[in-house]
A and B are shown apart, each in its own frame.
Chain A
Amino acid sequence: MHRRLHGRGALFDVEPAGLVPRIVGLRPYQHRTHPLEHPGELPFVVLTGARGLGKSAVLGELRDAYQRHTPVALIDCAEAQFAAPPAERPAESWSPLAQALLVVAEQLAEPVTGAGRIPFPRLMSGLVAVAAGGWGDADSERIRREVERILLLGESGSWISGFAGRWAGKVAAKVVAAATGTGPLVSGAIEATLESVAEGFASRRHQKASVWYRAYPNAGGHAQRGLILLSGHFRAGGTSREHAERYLVRALLADLTEAYAGVLPRMQRLGRPLVLVDNAQTGPGPALLDAVLRDRADGVADHVAFVAAVRGDGRELLRNAVRRELPEVARRTGWTPDAAAPSSRALLVALPPLSPDDTLHLVDTPGAPRLAPAVHRLTGGNPLGVALLAEAAVQNPERTGALGELLTAGVRLTDEGPAAPAHLQLLDRLVPADRLEELTVLAAAHDHDSACALAAALLPDDFGPADVRALQSRLTREGLPAAPGQFVGDPFVRTLLLLRLHLRDADHGGWRTAHETLITHYAEYLGTDRLAPFRLHHQLALGKAGAAVDHLRDGFALLDARSWLRTLRFIASAPYFHAHDAEGHDSTGHGDRRAAVALGRTDAQQPVPEGVDAVLHLRVRRVLHAVWQLADPLVLPDPKVADRLRFELEQLSNLRPAGNALLWRASRDWPAAALAGRPLAEPDDDEGDDERSGVA
């Protein structure tokens, strides 16, 4: 019945309880209490991670898990409704945060099991006061529309619901009359609202709410004056508006606290209310975070469980926040706030990628048992990638033989929606949409210089080196890891971008130009051994293996075993799309010739250059193609090729007494790693390395 997220047990588990049940005080999907980990002040939980790590999925799951059990609100700060005011509404009476508070309160007000609606009279009064600031030239119809939505927050949702509805209508009429009549506009509307709040409900709670704004600075004990000041501050903008907005947030939290105070509510309501804020790095998110954290730091206590999601690592947003990896908070947060820094009241939890086991559970294709490890190797456990590929595999079972084909296959994510290639859908959600074109080109680069070269060759003139740097830092900020030797650090995203680059032009012109540009870029430094692998890497990407074979053959005698293997691995990590013909040009047909070369089937037709060891030449050629095939994340590793690689490396190790152990170890590790879906590691990464221990 429940949609369960894989690999997020540290958040959702029940026995023993994960992080969220411990701070909400309720078991997910059940109406059962759970002991609170922080019965006093609780941390503002912020989930961090790059795009595609499943933050939104986690928040959606949380909402499903707690809806109807405790008040839950989920807002996505990146939504359009928080970006700009509605067409007819002046900006001076609207702010993203005010809009977010309205939406949050509307969702929190919904009744839950065992308890009715939560009224928000304080927030309602505040929002009316703010909205009244923009009614200078408004027609009564607009005012009615705006005020009625806000007034619905005051509904206590008792069984006399009809009465409440009439009340809202009556107050709206009164407010409209006050606002359109003569006399001071704002104060008239506020007065009407406050009077209605105080008179419309006889209960003590509403009486208390109607005088809450007395405490507003300089209000002098008059709630109405407090609201007028609030409205003025909001309109003034700048820090004054920040101050007013903080007060609105405080009003929301005070209303929630009130709803949980007293004997009867305590006997009716379980756990804490839950507010979920997606994309909190944008829109109203930072202001909301700031207001809540500062209030908590100032000792204005509330008992709302906040779970926000922030793209990137959240370092800029919350400098002093406590940082934890997800597994660390599985049983205990170990969180204690630092009184001096408001941001220390947040708890940053980094979402990790999925484990191979989780991938296995998601990619459930009995017909292709080797698909799941390959998907994990390609995506690195990126939940979005794994889920989308799993869906693609379900929709295109005939293309599960190669991940490259799966990625180019059309995938329909909704029943009605159009099918689009999987890799494009992934890129839409994994990289900033406004920089997709640039990134597509720059994905082939290895560093800033090569990126600049590519930009100069393939991108419009206005995209200069400064823009390259800006893009690089933006990627880092969004949580995509930086990797030495690659402009786009994340291998999965890079692979997708390169795939897009390859397929962008029908004749693969862009693809070829990019690689040729880089070959040229690295050729300028010809003569220095350090750069040769880069050039050979891109030549290989264009299907030209000859130079690489020559380089490796000659280098086998000159280089030490470790360097040779490293060079081999780097060159062979070149992307490979489509089949290439004998001349190195890619043909339109599908098929992978690398296996044939690796298995020695083409040796007979292969001319061996003059004056070289023909056996070694052919062996190096076979090894290069084998590694190329096995290291390619877009194809399933071929067991026969892996077996051949083991044999060939063994043979090479016999030729090199000095590097014997290293080569021999590679002959064991690399095929095994490739088949298991792991990247090919340098042999000396392992313990018990003969050479290293010999040096030591």
Chain B
Amino acid sequence: MAGRGVGTWLREGVWEIPLRRYLALLVTLCLLTGLFFGVRTLTHDDRSCAPGVARPEGSDECVGVATTAYDFGHPQLRPTVRAIARENGRLKAGSYVTVAVMLPYTSTAAANLADIQHELQGAYLAQYQANHASNGESPAIRLVLANPGATSRYWREMVTRLAAMTGGTDRLRAVAGVGQSTDANMKAVRELTRLGIPVIGSSITADDLANGQQGKDPYPGLARVSPTNTDEAHALASFAKVSAGRAMLVYDRPGDPYTRTLQTSFEALIKGSPHLAQPFTPPADRSEEGTTANTFRQIALLICGTPRSIDTVLFAGRHTQLRQFINALGARGCQDRKFTVLTGDEGSYLTGERSLHRDVLGPTLTVRYTALAHPDAWGRGSPRTGGSAADMAALTELLKSAVRAPVGPVGPVALEDGQLIIAYDAMRLAVHGIREAVPEGRSVPTLADVGLQWPQVKGPLRVSGASGWICLDVHGNPYDKAVPVVELRPGGGSRFVQIAWPEGKPPGAECLPPS
């Protein structure tokens, strides 16, 4: 064969001999197939992160609905998602309905992440309780994690995915959580409710992310566990006895639904105040630092220039800006003046915040805020209605068992920020609605029926939440929900001050909202 071409060899040494020809064809076929798959694997842009979770075009965020033990890249969420996956795996096919916990799981800010972790832990504990400690009531609850992205930019992808899960074996019946009261989340909730999917907001407090605005229900099927900003502001006012001559407003401009409703509520409290309200403009992503620190230094100067009658600052902003403001106010020139900063539930984020200059807190500067829930809220001296220590104790018991299997582990828990408690309550409300909606003789409710249950949650059908009684009005908003007022401690953490009531007093034992 020497001196003869490769072509001759192929023709005579391979092709002409049938055995070699077929073997060569087989080998070639295998090589081509391998090449095809190899090239496809190399060139294919695998945008999926986990089943149901993928990166949208032009983004590295994994958004969508995670049905497996996927932690969205955050190791601190891992114990909880594993616990959820374990619990989901125990469920028998056909015996469960699905509840999605919608939170911005891909957020990178430490405070948000701690929040998310706590909410997820609360939701899981409620799921575990619903599946194990409810006397065999059906259906069982399966939890999935719905992520619209850190800023909820990809809410549409998430909603599409959730809508697809309402049928089939998933049987999605409710979405709990939602996260913060942002514009994108509002759109997501609007779309979800438009599609007939019931939504249970856990920590949303904005007034316009609620039904019953001027008598309209823009989000049919939305229920909330936390009081609205207005209610919080009312509770705060009833607690602090704020009046126009003693308070000054600092607010986010243009703001988001949360800050706007808080601002509106505060403005109503100090109507006629002679002192100009001071606005600031944070970055679009309000968890970023931005340049607002400079603004707050100026505002601190301005505050020092006010008459000495002013001793209360009403802050309508998010927690990052609140922290910057407190730091700026702590460095104010007029250290001889005492100030109390009052704000909404965003203050709860600062309980574990490292960048906060806690040394400025003290007799001359107190920061009080309305928490969504607080572990110390119920105890001796608590009112007899509107909530009970026993309800909180049930959660505490559950938490103790969650340290190890079979319930846990769920990772380190913290109750002070109230997120775990409120998420637990929201999930319990979801379970309550789902199970109440189960028709006679069936084990699974229809999607539409779940959302119709919210107005019934009152009186004996109320949910005795760990954060207080949850009695919903006809719009799905909590009626006279207990609002714990909390003070940031200089040494870290928070101190429960007192329960305030939006109505000025605890609800009656029957807990019937006025219709």
User: Does A267 sit within 8 A of B, measured CB to CB?
Assistant: yes
- For A32, what are the chain B residues with a Cβ–Cβ distance below 8 Å? 11-12, 16
User: Does A264 sit within 8 A of B, measured CB to CB?
Assistant: yes
- For B18, what are the chain A residues with a Cβ–Cβ distance below 8 Å? 266-268
Number of residue pairs across A and B with beta carbons under 8 Å?
A: 30
User: In the assembly, what is the distance between CA of A325 and CA of B12, in Å?
Assistant: 33
- For B3, what are the chain A residues with a Cβ–Cβ distance below 8 Å? 1
Across the interface, do B13 and A114 meet the contact criterion of CB distance under 8 Å? yes
User: Does A30 sit within 8 A of B, measured CB to CB?
Assistant: yes
Across the interface, do B19 and A268 meet the contact criterion of CB distance under 8 Å? yes
Among B3, B12, B22, which residue has the most Cβ atoms of chain A within 10 A? B12
Across the interface, do B11 and A113 meet the contact criterion of CB distance under 8 Å? no
Residue of A nearest to B17 (CB): A114
Residue of A nearest to B19 (CB): A267
User: Does A33 sit within 8 A of B, measured CB to CB?
Assistant: yes
User: Does A578 sit within 8 A of B, measured CB to CB?
Assistant: no
Which residues of chain A in 30-53 are interfacial with respect to chain B, using CB atoms and an 8 Å cutoff?
30-33
Smallest beta-carbon distance B356→chain A, Å: 81
Smallest beta-carbon distance A64→chain B, Å: 15
User: Does B20 sit within 8 A of A, measured CB to CB?
Assistant: yes
Smallest beta-carbon distance A375→chain B, Å: 33
Smallest beta-carbon distance A66→chain B, Å: 13
User: In the assembly, what is the distance between CA of A156 and CA of B23, in Å?
Assistant: 23
- Give the contacting residue for A31; candidates B12, B19, B22; CB below 8 A: B12
Which residues of chain B in 1-33 are interfacial with respect to chain A, using CB atoms and an 8 Å cutoff?
3, 11-13, 16-20, 22
Smallest beta-carbon distance B18→chain A, Å: 4
User: In the assembly, what is the distance between CA of A115 and CA of B13, in Å?
Assistant: 11
**Band of interface residues on A:** 10 to 19
User: Does A442 sit within 8 A of B, measured CB to CB?
Assistant: no
Across the interface, do B12 and A30 meet the contact criterion of CB distance under 8 Å? yes
- How many of B's residues come within 8 Å of A, CB to CB? 10
- A244-269, CB under 8 A of B: which get 1 and which 0? 00000000000000000000101110
User: In the assembly, what is the distance between CA of A267 and CA of B11, in Å?
Assistant: 15
Smallest beta-carbon distance B76→chain A, Å: 62
Residue of B nearest to A113 (CB): B13
- For B19, what are the chain A residues with a Cβ–Cβ distance below 8 Å? 114, 264, 267-268
Residue of A nearest to B4 (CB): A1
Smallest beta-carbon distance B426→chain A, Å: 73
- For B22, what are the chain A residues with a Cβ–Cβ distance below 8 Å? 267
- Give the contacting residue for B20; candidates A33, A114, A266; CB below 8 A: A114
Which residues of chain A in 7-36 are interfacial with respect to chain B, using CB atoms and an 8 Å cutoff?
30-33
- For A267, what are the chain B residues with a Cβ–Cβ distance below 8 Å? 17-19, 22
- For B13, what are the chain A residues with a Cβ–Cβ distance below 8 Å? 31, 113-114
User: Does A322 sit within 8 A of B, measured CB to CB?
Assistant: no
Which residues of chain A in 94-123 are interfacial with respect to chain B, using CB atoms and an 8 Å cutoff?
113-115
Smallest beta-carbon distance A27→chain B, Å: 9
Residue of B nearest to A115 (CB): B17
User: In the assembly, what is the distance between CA of A30 and CA of B17, in Å?
Assistant: 12
User: Does A270 sit within 8 A of B, measured CB to CB?
Assistant: yes
Across the interface, do A270 and B17 meet the contact criterion of CB distance under 8 Å? yes
User: In the assembly, what is the distance between CA of A33 and CA of B17, in Å?
Assistant: 9
Smallest beta-carbon distance A223→chain B, Å: 32
User: In the assembly, what is the distance between CA of A114 and CA of B16, in Å?
Assistant: 9
- For A115, what are the chain B residues with a Cβ–Cβ distance below 8 Å? 17
Which residues of chain A in 114-141 are interfacial with respect to chain B, using CB atoms and an 8 Å cutoff?
114-115
- For B12, what are the chain A residues with a Cβ–Cβ distance below 8 Å? 30-32, 113
User: In the assembly, what is the distance between CA of A113 and CA of B15, in Å?
Assistant: 12
Residue of A nearest to B3 (CB): A1
Smallest beta-carbon distance A164→chain B, Å: 22
- For B20, what are the chain A residues with a Cβ–Cβ distance below 8 Å? 114
User: In the assembly, what is the distance between CA of A268 and CA of B13, in Å?
Assistant: 11
Among B3, B16, B20, B22, which residue has the most Cβ atoms of chain A within 10 A? B16
- B16-56, CB under 8 A of A: which get 1 and which 0? 11111010000000000000000000000000000000000
User: In the assembly, what is the distance between CA of A491 and CA of B217, in Å?
Assistant: 128
- For A30, what are the chain B residues with a Cβ–Cβ distance below 8 Å? 12
Among A30, A32, A114, A115, which residue has the most Cβ atoms of chain B within 10 A? A114
Smallest beta-carbon distance A639→chain B, Å: 46
Smallest beta-carbon distance A73→chain B, Å: 21
User: In the assembly, what is the distance between CA of A264 and CA of B18, in Å?
Assistant: 9
Which residues of chain A in 449-501 are interfacial with respect to chain B, using CB atoms and an 8 Å cutoff?
none
Residue of B nearest to A270 (CB): B16
- For A268, what are the chain B residues with a Cβ–Cβ distance below 8 Å? 17-19
- For A31, what are the chain B residues with a Cβ–Cβ distance below 8 Å? 12-13, 16-17
Residue of B nearest to A269 (CB): B17
Among B17, B20, B22, which residue has the most Cβ atoms of chain A within 10 A? B17
- For A266, what are the chain B residues with a Cβ–Cβ distance below 8 Å? 18
- For B17, what are the chain A residues with a Cβ–Cβ distance below 8 Å? 31, 113-115, 267-268, 270
- For A33, what are the chain B residues with a Cβ–Cβ distance below 8 Å? 16
Smallest beta-carbon distance B2→chain A, Å: 10
User: In the assembly, what is the distance between CA of A31 and CA of B7, in Å?
Assistant: 13
Smallest beta-carbon distance A334→chain B, Å: 29
Smallest beta-carbon distance B511→chain A, Å: 88
Residue of B nearest to A31 (CB): B12
- For B16, what are the chain A residues with a Cβ–Cβ distance below 8 Å? 31-33, 114, 270
Residue of A nearest to B23 (CB): A267
User: In the assembly, what is the distance between CA of A601 and CA of B13, in Å?
Assistant: 71
User: In the assembly, what is the distance between CA of A113 and CA of B20, in Å?
Assistant: 11
Q: What 4 pairs across the A-B complex have the smallest Cβ distances?
A: A31-B12, A114-B17, A267-B19, A267-B18
In the complex, 27 of the A-B residue pairs with CB atoms within 8 angstroms, ordered by the A residue number, are A1-B3, A31-B12, A31-B13, A31-B16, A31-B17, A32-B11, A32-B16, A33-B16, A113-B12, A113-B13, A113-B17, A114-B13, A114-B16, A114-B17, A114-B19, A114-B20, A115-B17, A264-B19, A266-B18, A267-B17, A267-B18, A267-B19, A267-B22, A268-B17, A268-B18, A270-B16, A270-B17
Given contacts A32-B16, A33-B16, 9 further A-B pairs with CB under 8 A are: A31-B13, A114-B13, A114-B20, A266-B18, A267-B18, A267-B19, A268-B18, A268-B19, A270-B17
